[in-house]
Amino acid sequence: MTEIVEIHNEYIALCDLLKVAGVVDSGGAGKALVASGVVAVNGVQELRKTCKIRPDQQVTGPGFTVVVKGRAA
């Protein structure tokens, strides 16, 4: 599954992004998924649950890709 998420702030926490994108059902599940070591940001493994994800970054994991876009100018 590939999701495109548009954010209206400078960044979104990784665990919150996973919830907004529908990858997980709750923020706690997002934190657990990140802690398991299967989530990558721009191809690099990410273990920080509240890592700041900014527009033009891509988050991947088993069976999902989330592309983050910023608000259109």
pLDDT digits (tens, 9 = 90+) for 39-73: 999 999 999 999 999 999 999 999 999 999 987 65
pLDDT for 71 equals: 76
- Which domains can be identified in the chain, with CATH numbers? 2-70 (3.10.290.10)
pLDDT digits (tens, 9 = 90+) for 13-38: 999 999 999 999 988 899 999 999 99
E strands within 1-73?
2-7, 12-13, 40-41, 44-45, 52-53, 58-61, 64-70
Angstrom distance (rounded) from CA 67 to CA 60: 9
- Match 């608000």 to its residue by tokens: 71
